[in-house]
Amino acid sequence: MPAESTPAGGEPSEGGPRGVARVVLLDPADRILLLRGHEPDDPSDTWWFTPGGGVEGVETRAQAALRELFEETGITGVDLGPVLWRRRCSFPFAGLRWDQDEWYYLARTTRTAVAATGLTELERRSVAGARWWTCQELSRAHETVYPTRLAELLRTLLDEGPPASPVTLNTEIV
């Protein structure tokens, strides 16, 4: 039997990975916006992650990235840059096994105020805020951050610019 995965609608199904679009959102000071997540029933089990989520219906990954960014942060008016990274991951969350194929888009904004007004019910129970991080702060963090090499990836992005084609990151299975 294939591993259980969770498609865009959040309902368990059999089959391939859930298509996910994430946003590496940078402000004018080159800080990255991360959201603080936790298990819905265990607020002590926390981690940081980039805004983004599942592709819904016939939308493209780019459309999903912009929609998710708005829903999770209230930020609009950004132009998506290239896909920086691609990652396959599998992890337990909210009693399910999530198997995802994630694409990370670059975007910049001058807005730093965040208002998460479009969260789903599950997100309202599992997202506990947002924070802008400098690369230096991220490299010193003792907290869990996904993808796990984000500080190194951000440093390379800031030093060298976007890659010529998306970099495939190591698969992460938690």
Identify whether the C-beta of residue 107 lies closer than 8 Å to the C-beta of residue 25.
yes
Structure tokens at 116: 């998460």
| CA–CA separation, 162 and 82 (whole Å) | 7
pTM exceeds 0.85: yes
With cut-offs at 50, 70 and 90, classify the pLDDT of residue 15.
Answer: low
Identify whether the C-beta of residue 137 lies closer than 8 Å to the C-beta of residue 121.
no
Identify whether the C-beta of residue 84 lies closer than 8 Å to the C-beta of residue 162.
yes
The predicted pLDDT at position 25 comes to: 98
- Express each pLDDT in 106-157 by its tens digit: 999 999 999 888 887 878 877 889 999 999 999 999 999 999 999 999 999 9
Kind of pairing between the strands at 127-133 and 32-39: antiparallel
Identify whether the C-beta of residue 53 lies closer than 8 Å to the C-beta of residue 68.
yes
- Express each pLDDT in 16-63 by its tens digit: 799 999 999 999 999 999 999 888 888 888 989 999 999 999 999 999
User: Facing residues of 25 across strands?
Assistant: 107
The larger pLDDT score, comparing residue 14 to residue 158, is at 158
